[in-house]
Amino acid sequence: MDYLVFRLYGALASWGEIAVGESRHTASYPSKSAIIGLLGAALGIKREDETAQQRLQQGYAVAVEVYSTGRLLRDYHTTQAPDSVGKFNYRTRRDELVLGRERLGTILSSREYRADALALVAVKALEGAPFSLAEIEQHLLFPKYHLYLGRKSCPLSAPLQPQIIGNSANYYQAFQAYQHKPILPTHKENQSGLSERDFIWLGRSKDRHYYWEGTAEDFSDDSTLDLTHRQTRIRHDQPLSRKRWQFSPRQEHYLFVQGGE
C-alpha cells in the first residue's frame, strides 16, 4: 500500500470547529475538511465545483501525526460590512464600503489560532480516487492555488515536503518511514542532520498523538502499540458542500503514544 505523507507547519494555523455564535474555535490538529481543502487548492479544484469536491473527499482517507499542538492564540476580531438588501450582491469590498455605506455595521467575533504547531498528514487513495498519489504529490510541490492552514491568514511557514511512502502496511509504518527535512534554518546541527530546534520537535522520545480513519489494523500491526486504549470520536468535518459550508459527521480514532515507544 502506498501513502502520501507531507508536513504542515505554520506560524499560525486554524483548524475550524463547529462555530457557536461569535466564537470561532480551532481544534489542536488538522481536520479532514482542511486537509481535503488544501489538496483541492493544490489541484486547482474550485470551491464551487461541488462534483469534483465530493469525488475528492470520498476518494481518500487520512491520518494525522501531531508533533506539537502549538500554543493557543485568541484574536478579538472586528470587521465592517453592510447588511443584505434583498437579492443584491456586493461584488467587491469597494462596493460594500461605497454602495453599502448607509448600511454598514460592525461584526464582532472571537477567533482562535494555533501558533507554532507541527503535524504530519498521511493520505491513502481509496477505490475510485480521482487522482493518483503521484499527481497529488506533484501539485503539492507546484500548487495551482495558494495553500493555507485552515484560513487565508495562515500561510505555510515551511515547505510541505511531500513524499510517497511505498510498501507500507499501515499509517504508522508510513509515518515512521517519512524522511524529515529541516524546518527552521540554523548553523547548529546535531548528528541527525536536523537543526537543534527541529530535533526538539522530532526527537523519538517525544509524545505523539495520532488520529485516523478506518480500523485499528489500518493504523498499525505493531505489537508494542496498545490499540485497545484508542478512543473513537465523532467529528463534524466531512465536507458536504463547500459552497454552502455544510459538513457531516465521520468516525475518527485517536491514540496517544508516550515518548520512547
Q: How far apart are CA 98 and CA 131, in angstroms?
A: 44
pLDDT of residue 238: 83
Q: What is the pLDDT of residues 220-232, one digit of tens each?
A: 988 888 888 899 9
Residue with the larger pLDDT of the pair 62 and 25? 62
Is 64 contained in some domain?
A: yes
Q: Which of 97-101, 127-131, 187-191, 203-207 has the lowest mean pLDDT?
A: 187-191
Is 97 contained in some domain?
A: no
Answer whether 108's CB lies under 8 Å from 78's CB: yes
pLDDT of residue 85: 75
Tell me which residue range forms the domain holding 164: 3-71+114-257
The C-alpha torsion from 116 through 47 and 238 to 114, rounded to 10°, is 10
Is 98 contained in some domain?
A: no
pLDDT of residue 38: 96
Q: How far apart are CA 55 and CA 66, in angstroms?
A: 27
By C-alpha distance, which of 250, 249, 178, 257 is closest to 210?
257
Q: How far apart are CA 135 and CA 114, in angstroms?
A: 30
Is 231 contained in some domain?
A: yes
Q: What is the pLDDT of residues 240-257, one digit of tens each?
A: 787 777 888 899 999 998
Number of domains in the chain: 1
For the domain that residue 63 is a member of, what is the CATH number? Answer: 3.30.70.2660
pLDDT of residue 131: 97
Is 102 contained in some domain?
A: no
Q: What is the pLDDT of residues 126-171, one digit of tens each?
A: 999 999 999 999 999 999 999 999 988 899 999 999 999 998 899 9
pLDDT band at 24 (very low <50, low <70, confident <90, very high): confident
Is 99 contained in some domain?
A: no
Is 94 contained in some domain?
A: no
Is 216 contained in some domain?
A: yes
E strand or H helix at 150: none
pTM of the model: 0.85
